[in-house]
Structure 1
C-alpha cells in the first residue's frame, strides 16, 4: 500500500508538460508544442499562456509526443519523439532515427488522427454599426459556426442573424441556418447530407429551403487549418406571397482555413456555387473571405468580405458587404 501511495504522489508531482525548448541565450522553456510554421514556434505554457518563439533563436528542443516533420516540399515524416542534440541540432526518432539541423525543419504539426473521441471548435463574430446624423440607423449582425467531430462523424452548424432599424423603424430582418452531417469512409473521402433554411422579412422571396447530399474530399485538416471540397445535388424551394418555386441544383462548395503568423492570424474562405437546373438562372454564388486576429485564446478581431451574386440571362445582380467586428473562438 505504501508503494502504491508513493507512486500516486509521484504521478501527481510529475510535470504535465513534456516538451522543452532550449534557447541560444541559455534560457529553457517547458510547455506543449502547438506547431511550427512561418519561422515561429507556438509553445503553450502554464505560466504565460501561448508564446511565440523565433525558430532561429532555438538551440535545441525535445518532445515526447508524435509530430509531423516537414523539411521541404509537401511531404511530412512522422516523428514519435524528438530528443535534444547538439547546438542547432535535434534527434528525430520514428521509423528511422537520425539527427538533423533545426534550420532544415520548416514545419512541425501534431498529427490529427481520423478516429478521435471528440473535437469541438467554432467561432462567433458580431458587428454593430450605429449612425447618428440626419437619420438614426442601428445595424447589427451576428455570424457563427461550430464543428463537432467524433469517430468518423462530423457535424457542422452555421448561422447568421441580421437586424437594421432606421429612425426606430425596422428595415432589415433576416436569418439563415445550415446543418451538415458528414460520414468519413477514408482519411479524405466523406459523404455529406445537409439542410438549410433562410428567411427574410423584406425581400420578395421570404423563405428558402435547401436539402442536398453528395461526396466530399478533405485535402487536409490539422492544427494549421483545413481544406474541404464538396459536390452536392440539391432540391431548392423558394416561397413568396406571389408564388412558390421548386427546382434542382448542382453545387460545388469549398471550406478553407489557414493559421498564419504563429497562429495569431487566421485566413478563412467559404464559397458555394450553385447551378440551377432551370433556364431562368445561370448560377448563384454565395461566398465570404475573412481574416481573424487572435487577441488571446478566445477573443478575435475579424475583417470579413461577403460577395453574393446571381447570374440570369442578360443580367447579373451582386451584393457586397464589408464587415469589421469582434468575436470569440474555441
Structure 2
C-alpha cells in the first residue's frame, strides 16, 4: 500500500514539471525552462537539458511564464506582471489583474522582482591567481580573494577576505591576509544600518596588524537579478600595531559595492571601493579600490580579471600600489 501511494505521488509529480516557462522561436522550435532575465537583447533561460542558454530576443516568436516579472518597455515606466501568456507572432500577453497584449519588440528588460523580506539568499565568489616565474630569478606568487553574502528577512551578512603569498629565490617577500565581516539591518527597501569588523596582518609592512570597527548608514539603489549598487558611510575606529608602537584614531569612510550582469548573464562587471578620511594630520586620505570583470563559463566556473588600486595621500606626497589579478574562480 505504501509503495503504491509513493508511486502515485511520483507519477503525479512527473505530470507537473517544475519548468513552467516556455519560449517559442521563429524557426518553430520550442524551449522549456526557467526565465532568469532579459537584458541587452538577450534572454537568459535555465534549462534542465542544456543548463543556462542565451537567446537573441529578436529570434523569439512568443513566450509564456507563470512567475511574476518586472518588465520595462520602451518609453514607459517599469510595470509588474503576474504572468506572461503566449500571443500572436511577435506578441506577448501581460497578465496583472487586467490583460494587455504588447509587441515583443517594445520589451527591453525583464527581471524577477526580489521581495524586501527574503527567506534566504546566498551568493558569493572565490577567485584564485597563481604566477610562477623561472627566469633570472625564481618567483612564486599565489593569491586567493573571495566574498560571500547571506540575506534572510531584513538581515544581511557579508564576509570577504584574501590571502596573498610570494617567494623570490626561496625567500618570502609577501605574506598577508585580510578578513572583514559586515552586518546589515534593513529598515526600508533602500535604507539600512551597517556594523563592520575588519582585521589585516602583513609581515612586511611597518604596521604588521590593523583592526577597525565601523558603524553607519547605507543606501541600496537597486538589488535584483541584474546586480546591485550599495553606498555606505561609516565612522570607523582604527587600531594599528607595530614593533615601534601602536596608533589609534578615528576616520570617516565612504564605501560602494557595485555589480552588474551584461550580455544576458555571461559577463559580470563589479567594483568595490572604500575612501577613508583619517582624523590625523599626517594622512589626508586612504583609498582601497578594485574593479573587475568575470566571464561565466557555466553556472559555477568563472574567468576573472581584476585591477586593484590602493592609494595613500599625506604630508604632501601620494603613494600608490597597483595589482592585477588574472585567474579562475567559482561562483554561487
- The interval holding the TM-score normalised by the smaller chain is over 0.9
Report matched runs for 1:102-141 at 5 Å: 102-141=104-143
Q: TM-score, normalised by structure 1?
A: 0.97
Structure 1, unmatched stretches of 5+, are: none
Change (3 A) 1:73 1:218: farther
Q: TM-score, normalised by structure 2?
A: 0.96
Q: Which residue of 1 aligns with 2:18?
A: 16
Q: Does 1:148 align with 2:153?
A: no
For the residue of structure 2 that corresponds to 1:203, the secondary structure is coil
For the residue of structure 1 that corresponds to 2:11, the secondary structure is helix
Q: 2:299 aligns with which of 297, 300, 303?
A: 297
Q: Give how far 1:97 is off.
A: 1.9
Q: Which residue of 2 aligns with 1:183?
A: 185
Report matched runs for 1:1-330 at 5 Å: 9-72=11-74, 75-330=77-332
**Distance in 2 (alpha carbons) for counterparts of 1:144 and 1:3:** 47
Q: Give how far 1:75 is off.
A: 3.3
Quote the RMSD (CA, aligned, Å): 1.6
Change (3 A) 1:284 1:226: same
Structure 2, unmatched stretches of 5+, are: none
Q: What is the aligned length?
A: 330
Q: Give how far 1:135 is off.
A: 1.0
Q: Give how far 1:74 is off.
A: 8.2
**Distance in 1 (alpha carbons) for counterparts of 2:22 and 2:296:** 25
**Distance in 2 (alpha carbons) for counterparts of 1:27 and 1:149:** 38
**Distance in 2 (alpha carbons) for counterparts of 1:167 and 1:264:** 40
**Distance in 2 (alpha carbons) for counterparts of 1:85 and 1:257:** 35
Q: Give how far 1:87 is off.
A: 0.3
